[in-house]
Amino acid sequence: METEIKEIEIIFFAEIKEINSLQDLEKLRIKYLGRKGILDGLFSQLSHIESSQRPLLGKMLNELKEKILKEIKEKENLWAGDKELAGIDLSLPGLYFVIGKKHILTQTIEEVLAIFEKLGFTILEGPEIETEYYNFTSLNIPQEHPATEAFHTFYLEGEISSGERRPRSAPGKGRYLLRSQTSTVQVRVMENYLPPLRIISPGRVYRPDAVDASHSFMFHQIEGFAVDENIKFSDLKGTIFVFAQRFFGKEIKMRFRPHYFPFTEPSVEVDISCIICQRNQKPETSNQKCGVCKGKGWLEILGAGMIHPRVFHFAGYPKHKYTGFAFGMGVERMAMLKYGIEDIRLFFENDLRFLRQF
Interface positions with ligand PHE (CB under 6 A): 181, 183, 223, 261, 264, 303-305, 326-328
What's the closest the beta carbon of residue 304 comes to ligand PHE, in angstroms?
Answer: 5
Contact 304, 324 (CB under 8 A): no
41 burial type by CB count under 10 A (0-12 exposed, 13-18 middle, 19+ buried): exposed
Closest CA to 222 of 126, 339, 350: 126
Q: How far apart are CA 308 and CA 267, in angstroms?
A: 9
Q: How far apart are CA 301 and CA 119, in angstroms?
A: 19
What's the closest the beta carbon of residue 173 comes to ligand PHE, in angstroms?
Answer: 25
What's the closest the beta carbon of residue 186 comes to ligand PHE, in angstroms?
Answer: 8
Closer to ligand PHE by CB, 22 or 147: give it: 147
Which amino acid, 2? E
Q: Look at the chain and count its residues.
A: 358
What's the closest the beta carbon of residue 216 comes to ligand PHE, in angstroms?
Answer: 14
What's the closest the beta carbon of residue 302 comes to ligand PHE, in angstroms?
Answer: 7
What's the closest the beta carbon of residue 279 comes to ligand PHE, in angstroms?
Answer: 28
| Sign of CA pseudo-dihedral 312, 314, 316, 319 | positive
| Sign of CA pseudo-dihedral 327, 106, 214, 246 | positive
What's the closest the beta carbon of residue 226 comes to ligand PHE, in angstroms?
Answer: 11
Closer to ligand PHE by CB, 12 or 261: give it: 261
Closer to ligand PHE by CB, 261 or 322: give it: 261
Closer to ligand PHE by CB, 39 or 329: give it: 329
Rounded CA Rg of the chain: 39
Q: How far apart are CA 206 and CA 220, in angstroms?
A: 9
Q: How far apart are CA 274 and CA 252, in angstroms?
A: 8
Largest CA distance in the chain: 123
Closer to ligand PHE by CB, 12 or 133: give it: 133
Q: How far apart are CA 326 and CA 324, in angstroms?
A: 7
Helix ranges, the chain (H)? 2-17, 22-33, 38-46, 54-84, 104-118, 132-135, 185-192, 233-248, 275-280, 309-315, 331-339, 352-355
Closer to ligand PHE by CB, 134 or 327: give it: 327
Closer to ligand PHE by CB, 8 or 141: give it: 141
β partners of residue 201: 223
Contact 130, 221 (CB under 8 A): no
- Residue number of the CB closest to ligand PHE reads 328
For residue 286, report the phi and psi dihedrals to the nearest 5 degrees: -55, 140
Closer to ligand PHE by CB, 234 or 287: give it: 234
What's the closest the beta carbon of residue 265 comes to ligand PHE, in angstroms?
Answer: 10
Closer to ligand PHE by CB, 68 or 304: give it: 304
What's the closest the beta carbon of residue 353 comes to ligand PHE, in angstroms?
Answer: 31
